[in-house]
Amino acid sequence: MTGSARNFLQFHDIPEAGLRLIIARAGELAKAWDERAMPQSLAGKRVALIADDGGWRNTTAFDLGIQAMGGICAQVPIGFNAREEAGDLAGYLGNWFDMLVIRKKALATLKTVAAASPVPVINARTRSNHPCETLGDLAYIKSRRGSIDGLKVVGVVADANILRSWVEASIALPIEMIQIYPQRWHFRDSELFTGRFRAGTDMGELLGADVIVTDSWPGDVAGDTLASYRIGTDVLDRLRKDAIFLPCPPVTRGREVTGEAMEHPLCQSRAAKAFLLHAQNALMEWIVAPTVNA
């Protein structure tokens, strides 16, 4: 792990046993949320929420979850790599807070902050990865299937933060991750290669998938260059009846998915994204409330 023993900058920063605890706990917290009976396991904890690259889903969920579990959340209006050094800012923030939740474009900046921070740091999203998103998806998948062991996940995605977090997950957990996309956009970071990841171009791989993930098309795509990789009902109708289709928001209908695909029974994006809140809550418990995770 990087810096503090309980930072979460990359999915595989947390050992398999810890990830399993968090994913299982997310299911328990989902039930508590529905019953409006959230445990006050963050009571007295002070959390800084720093978001300087837009977005709203997971930062809103962090803010809400911290308050629901009795913590204090302060949205801190700072950017890194500006007038003050990131390491200096980490030290100052550590004077006041028990945990830092940061949404920042550069993963390298988060690593610098974590190395200097006296308190744990959570990655709320970077351009390189989005570990909380994948953690939430896995928590939802476990709630549906009962287990995440042996999952075959197929990502019809370019090399970007969603794919990279699934690749990271395949390092830490016994899941197979397959990227299906034109070679121009294949994942090539050899530092994250394991025997559980591979890339190809054959859409036939989807037929045996447990989970199918999509992401927005790359910004430099012209016209219908990627039309053969668009997910429509014609594709979903051929998949296993228990497959889970998780298009990652923001979804661009007519590009990576069709509008009809978003209404298909296999499409479970809305239900899955509810677990973003629950997984992040479980993650924060694991990080700052060791008695809950003993």
Residues 26-75 have pLDDT tens digits of 999 999 999 999 999 999 999 999 997 777 889 999 999 999 999 999 99
State the pLDDT at residue 86: 84
Query: Could you tell me whether strands 46-51 and 152-156 are parallel, antiparallel, or unpaired per DSSP bridges?
Result: unpaired
Whether residue 222 is predicted with pLDDT greater than 80 in this model: the reply is no
Q: Do domains 11-130+274-288 and 133-273 have the same CATH topology?
A: yes
- Per CATH, the number for 11-130+274-288 is 3.40.50.1370
Q: Which CA distances in Å does 189 have to 32, 128, 159, 185? A: 39, 11, 10, 12
State pLDDT tens for residues 187-209: 998 888 887 999 999 999 999 99
Mean pLDDT of 116-144: 96
CA atoms within 13 A on the CB side of 274: 12
For residue 125, CA distances in Å to 4, 20, 190, 283 come to: 19, 21, 21, 15
Task: Answer yes or no: is pLDDT of 166 > 60.
Answer: yes
pLDDT value of position 85: 84
Mean pLDDT confidence for 101-125: 94
Whether pLDDT at 284 is above 80: yes
Domain segments of the chain as ranges: 11-130+274-288, 133-273
Vertex 14, ends 181 and 49: CA angle to 5°?
Answer: 90
* Span of 114-123, 178-187, 249-258 with lowest mean pLDDT: 249-258
State the average pLDDT for the chain: 92
Fold of 133-273: Rossmann fold (3.40.50)
Question: pLDDT grade, residue 80 (50/70/90)?
Answer: confident
What distance in Å separates the CA atoms of residue 262 and residue 266, rounded to the nearest whole number? 9
